[in-house]
C-alpha cells in the first residue's frame, strides 16, 4: 500500500488573514485620502479667498497708479506747451514792452523764437505766431515769418472765428481785463500784453499774441511719446487712450485705437489737458507782472480749466475686467496645481496599492507553487521509500509498473510546473521567440486533449469536440499554442467540473475580421465573478473561490496564455456569467490553403 504524506498549507486561513490585513490597510489608506482631500479643499477655499483679496488690492493699486501716471502725463504735456509761452514771453515783459515800437517788439519775438528752437523738444509744434494789435475798434494781424526773419500782415486765419468774435467783444469794453480768453479754439494759445504806462485813456491792452500749435505734430509726435513713456514704459501699452475737446466731446483730437468709438463713457481714468494759462501778479504793477505757465508744481489740478479731456481705458475693456481675468487665470492655475497634486498623490496611492496587491499575489504564488511542488515530490519520495525499503516486491510486476507510472506522472507534473514558470519568465523578459508556421487546427486540439487526458479524467467531464474537417489552419508556434490549449482545457476541467462538460470548437472568425481562426474552450461551471473578470489575466492572480476551495494552481496559467497568444499576433477574451460557466475565445491568424498544402506535403 502506498502511503503519501505531505505538508498541506492551510490556504483558507492564510487567505482570510491576508484579506483582513488588506482591509485594515485599505481603511487606513482611505482615511488618509479623505483627510488629504479635506485639507486640499480647505486650502483651495483659503486660496480662493486670498486671490480675491489680492485681486481687489491689485485693482486699487493699479487704479491709483493709472491716475498718477495720467496726472504726470498731463503735467508734462502742459509744461511742454507752457514752455513755449514762457520762452517767447518771459517774465517782466510788460516793462520791456512799454515805449517800444513795433520793429523792436517784433525783433525781440524773432530772437526769442530762435533761442527757443535750440532747446525745444519738438520745434515744429508751433504752426504760426500772430500779433493782434488793436487800432480803435479794429485790429491788425501780423504773422511771424521765421524763415525770412520778419513779420507780415495777414487776414484772420481759418478756424479763428470764435476767437475773433470774443476779441472784438472785449475791445468794445476796454474795462475788461484779466488772463487769457477760453477761445474754444483747438490749439491756439493767446494772451494779452498790457502797456502799463498808457492808462489814461483806459487802453490797457497794447496787443494780443496768439500762438497756434500744429495739431498734426501733437497727434503724431508729442502725444504718442508721452503716452508711451507714462503708460507703456519699455513695453507695449496696456491701455487705449483718447483725447477730445472737453466742451465738445464729439471733436476728437487723438485716438490710440484709430477707430471712431468713444471710450470716455467707459474710461478707467481721465484728466484734463491744455491747462496752460497766465499767472500774474496784476496788470497795475503789483510787483511781479504776468508770467506764462501750466499748473503750479504739486498743486491740485482743476478739472474745469483744461481745454482737452484725456480718457484712458484698459485694452481688455476695463481695468476691472483685466484684474478679473487675471484673477480667473490665477484661480485656474491654482486649481490645476491642486488637481495635479491630488492626481499625483492618487496615482502614488494607486500604484502603492497595486504594488501591495502584487506583493501579496507573489506571496500567494510562492505559497501555491510550494504546495504544487511538494505534492508530487512527496509522492515521488514515498514511492522511492517504498521501493527502496522492500515494501514493494519486485516479483510483483504489476505493482512495480504502478509505482513506475506514478513516479512518471508526478515527474511530468513537476516538469509542467517548472516549464510554466520558465515560460512566464521568458515572456516577461521578451526573450521568447515564437515561430510562425502553418499548423492544422484539428491536430493541435487533439494533441492538447491527449496531453490533458488525466486532468479531464480526474474532473469527470465529458468532452464535446466540434472542429470541421475542412477547417483552415493557423499560423503560430506549435509548442506555445499547445501550452495555450492545455492551460485552457486544464482550467475548464478544474473550475468547470461541477458542470461535467467541456466544449472545444474551431471556426473561421465571423466578426468581420477576415483571415482569422477562432478557437473556443467553454465549460458549465460556476463562472467568473464580475469583480474578478478584469483581473484573471494578471500574473499571480487567483480567484477567491479557487483559494477557498484549495484548487491547485500557480496563478500563472492565464497570464502566460495571454502573452503567448498576443506574442503570435492573436487575441484572447473571456465571456462569463456567474453561475453559468465561462467561455475563452482565442483568435489567431489563419494560414492560407497554399501554405497548408506545402506543410502537408512537407510532413508527408
Higher pLDDT, 12 or 375: 375
Average pLDDT over the chain reads: 77
Ranked by mean pLDDT, the top range of 303-307, 350-354, 560-564 is 560-564
- Band of residue 378 on the pLDDT scale cut at 50, 70, 90: confident
Position 400 in a domain: no
Say if residue 90's pLDDT is above 80. no
Question: How many angstroms from the chain centroid is the CA of residue 275?
Answer: 50
Is pLDDT larger for residue 426 or for residue 215?
Answer: 215
384 pLDDT higher than 60: yes
More confident residue, 191 or 244: 244
pLDDT of 9 reads 45
Average pLDDT over residues 49-58: 88
Q: How many domains does the chain have?
A: 2
> Which pLDDT score is estimated for 205?
65
Identify whether residues 315 and 425 lie together within a single domain. Answer: no
φ/ψ of residue 183, rounded to 5: -75, -25
Percent of residues, the chain, with pLDDT higher than 90: 14
| Residue 125 counted as domain residue | yes
Check whether residue 423 and residue 303 sit in a common domain.
Answer: no
Last residue of a domain, one of 323, 339, 355: 323
Q: What pLDDT is attached to residue 179?
A: 47
The answer to whether residue 347 sits within a structural domain is no
Q: Are residues 217 and 108 in the same domain?
A: yes
Q: How far is CA 93 from CA 88, 212, 275, in A?
A: 10, 20, 21
pLDDT of 336: 86
In a domain, 203, yes or no: yes
Residue 595's pLDDT is 61
Q: Judging by DSSP bridges, how do beta strands 188-194 and 205-213 pair with one another?
A: antiparallel
Q: What is the CA radius of gyration of the chain?
A: 52
* β-strands 308-314, 239-245 pairing: antiparallel
Grid cell locating 8:
498541506
If you average pLDDT over residues 417-421, what whole number do you get?
68
Which of 454, 444, 455, 545 has the alpha carbon at shortest distance from 493?
A: 455
pLDDT tens sequence across 263-287: 888 899 999 988 755 444 334 443 3
Question: Where does the pLDDT of residue 390 fall: very low under 50, low under 70, confident under 90, or very high at 90 and above?
Answer: low
Helix, coil or strand: residue 249: coil
What is the C-alpha to C-alpha distance for residues 230 and 312, in angstroms, rounded to an integer?
A: 12
Query: Which among 296, 323, 350 is the end of a domain?
Result: 323
User: Residue 334 falls within a domain, yes or no?
Assistant: no
Q: What is the pLDDT of residue 217?
A: 92
Instruction: Indicate if the pLDDT at residue 140 is higher than 80.
Output: yes
Label residue 528 by pLDDT band (50, 70, 90). confident
Last residue of a domain, one of 259, 290, 323: 323
Q: pTM (2 decimals)?
A: 0.54
Reference 442, options 406, 472, 407; nearest CA is 472
State which residues form the domain around 592: 417-603
Taking only the tens place, the pLDDT of each residue in 142-176 is: 999 988 999 999 999 888 887 888 778 877 765 55
Question: In the predicted model, what is the mean pLDDT of residues 226-238?
Answer: 88
Q: What is the pLDDT of residue 312?
A: 93
Within a domain: residue 440?
yes
* 375 within domain boundaries: no
* Per-residue pLDDT at 271: 92
Q: Is residue 314 one of the residues assigned to a domain?
A: yes
In this structure, which long-range contacts are made by residues 443-447, counting pairs with CB atoms below 8 Å and at least 24 apart in sequence? 444/474, 444/478, 444/481, 444/482, 444/485, 445/485, 445/504, 445/506, 445/519, 447/482
Amino acid at each position: 500500500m502506498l502511503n503519501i504524506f505531505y505538508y498541506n498549507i492551510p490556504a483558507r486561513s492564510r487567505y482570510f488573514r491576508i484579506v483582513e490585513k488588506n482591509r485594515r490597510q485599505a481603511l487606513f489608506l482611505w482615511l488618509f485620502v479623505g483627510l488629504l482631500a479635506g485639507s486640499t479643499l480647505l486650502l483651495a477655499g483659503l486660496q480662493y479667498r486670498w486671490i480675491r483679496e489680492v485681486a481687489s488690492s491689485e485693482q486699487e493699486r493699479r487704479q491709483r497708479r493709472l491716475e498718477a501716471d495720467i496726472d504726470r502725463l498731463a503735467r508734462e504735456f502742459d509744461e511742454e506747451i507752457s514752455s513755449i509761452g514762457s520762452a517767447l514771453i518771459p517774465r517782466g515783459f510788460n516793462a520791456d514792452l512799454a515805449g517800444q515800437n513795433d520793429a523792436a517788439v517784433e525783433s525781440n519775438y524773432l530772437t526769442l523764437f530762435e533761442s527757443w528752437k535750440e532747446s525745444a523738444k519738438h520745434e515744429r509744434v508751433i504752426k504760426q505766431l500772430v500779433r493782434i494789435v488793436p487800432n480803435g475798434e479794429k485790429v491788425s494781424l501780423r504773422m511771424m515769418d521765421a524763415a525770412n526773419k520778419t513779420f507780415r500782415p495777414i487776414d484772420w486765419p481759418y478756424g479763428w472765428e470764435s476767437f475773433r468774435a470774443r476779441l472784438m467783444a472785449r475791445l468794445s469794453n476796454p474795462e475788461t481785463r484779466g488772463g487769457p480768453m477760453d477761445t474754444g479754439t483747438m490749439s491756439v494759445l493767446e494772451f494779452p500784453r498790457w502797456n502799463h504806462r498808457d492808462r489814461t485813456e483806459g487802453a490797457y491792452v497794447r496787443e494780443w499774441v496768439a500762438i497756434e500749435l500744429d495739431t498734426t505734430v501733437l497727434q503724431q509726435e508729442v502725444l504718442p511719446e508721452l503716452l508711451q513713456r507714462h503708460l507703456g514704459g519699455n513695453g507695449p501699452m496696456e491701455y487705449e487712450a483718447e483725447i477730445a475737446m472737453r466742451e465738445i466731446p464729439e471733436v476728437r483730437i487723438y485716438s490710440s485705437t484709430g477707430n471712431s468709438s468713444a471710450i470716455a463713457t467707459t474710461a478707467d481714468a481721465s484728466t484734463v489737458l491744455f491747462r496752460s494759462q497766465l499767472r500774474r501778479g496784476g496788470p497795475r504793477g503789483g510787483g511781479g507782472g504776468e508770467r506764462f505757465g501750466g499748473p503750479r508744481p504739486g498743486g491740485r489740478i482743476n478739472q474745469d480749466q483744461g481745454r482737452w479731456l484725456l480718457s484712458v481705458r484698459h485694452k481688455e475693456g476695463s481695468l476691472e475686467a483685466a484684474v478679473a481675468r487675471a484673477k480667473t487665470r490665477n484661480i485656474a492655475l491654482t486649481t490645476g496645481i491642486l488637481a495635479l497634486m491630488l492626481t499625483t498623490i492618487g496615482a502614488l496611492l494607486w500604484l502603492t496599492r497595486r504594488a501591495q496587491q502584487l506583493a501579496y499575489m507573489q506571496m500567494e504564488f510562492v505559497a501555491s507553487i510550494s504546495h504544487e511542488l511538494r505534492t508530487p515530490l512527496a509522492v515521488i519520495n514515498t514511492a522511492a521509500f517504498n521501493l527502496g525499503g522492500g515494501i514493494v516486491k519486485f516479483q510483483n510486476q504489476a505493482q512495480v509498473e504502478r509505482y513506475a507510472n506514478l513516479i512518471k506522472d508526478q515527474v511530468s507534473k513537476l516538469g509542467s510546473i517548472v516549464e510554466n514558470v520558465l515560460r512566464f519568465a521568458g515572456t516577461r523578459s521578451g526573450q521568447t521567440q515564437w515561430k510562425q508556421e502553418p499548423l492544422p487546427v484539428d491536430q493541435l486540439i487533439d494533441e492538447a486533449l491527449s496531453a490533458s487526458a488525466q486532468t479531464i479524467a480526474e474532473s469527470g467531464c465529458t468532452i464535446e469536440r466540434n472542429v470541421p474537417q475542412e477547417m483552415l489552419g493557423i499560423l503560430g508556434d506549435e509548442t506555445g499554442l499547445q501550452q495555450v490549449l492545455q492551460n485552457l482545457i486544464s482550467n475548464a476541467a478544474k473550475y468547470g467540473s461541477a458542470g461535467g462538460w467541456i466544449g472545444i470548437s474551431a471556426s473561421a472568425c465571423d466578426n468581420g475580421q477576415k483571415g482569422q481562426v477562432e478557437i473556443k474552450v467553454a465549460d458549465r461551471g460556476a463562472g467568473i465573478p464580475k469583480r474578478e473578470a478584469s483581473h484573471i489575466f494578471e500574473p499571480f492572480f487567483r480567484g477567491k473561490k479557487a483559494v477557498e476551495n484549495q484548487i491547485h494552481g500557480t496563478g500563472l496559467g492565464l497570464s502566460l496564455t495571454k502573452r503567448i497568444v498576443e506574442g503570435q499576433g492573436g487575441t484572447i477574451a473571456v465571456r462569463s456569467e456567474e453561475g453559468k460557466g465561462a467561455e475563452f475565445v482565442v483568435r489567431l491568424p489563419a494560414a492560407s490553403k497554399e501554405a497548408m498544402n506545402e506543410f502537408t506535403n512537407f510532413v508527408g
